[in-house]
Amino acid sequence: MISIGIVTSVWGDYSKYLAKWSDSIVAQTVQPSMVVILDAGVSSKGAVIETRKFLQDNDIRCLVREKRYTSIGAARNAAVAPVKTEWIIHL
């Protein structure tokens, strides 16, 4: 079985997409070994918390990290850093 990590970086109003994002992850044929949400200054902390709970309720390990936004590259790198899976995808 392959191990897959899924990561995303959210800031500003991007949190409005997290519900559909997490629905898509749960619907996948191959479930990820872990999911990382990097909060780089999101406007709705509640959406991040709800997404983490939804993923965990569906037996998907979810880690939320926080880092001040400086650039998209820095945010993506910070999201990928804790993932130790064979494959990583940034959605």
Residue 39 clears pLDDT 90, i.e. is over it: yes
**Verdict on whether the full-model pTM lies above 0.75:** yes
- Each residue's pLDDT tens digit, 22-37: 999 999 999 999 999 9
Nearest to 27 by CA among 19, 38, 17, 36: 19
pLDDT at 49: 96
pLDDT 10s digits, 40-72: 999 989 999 999 999 999 999 999 999 999 999
Pairing label, strands 62-66, 87-90: unpaired
How far is it, in rounded angstroms, from Cα 68 to Cα 2?
Answer: 32
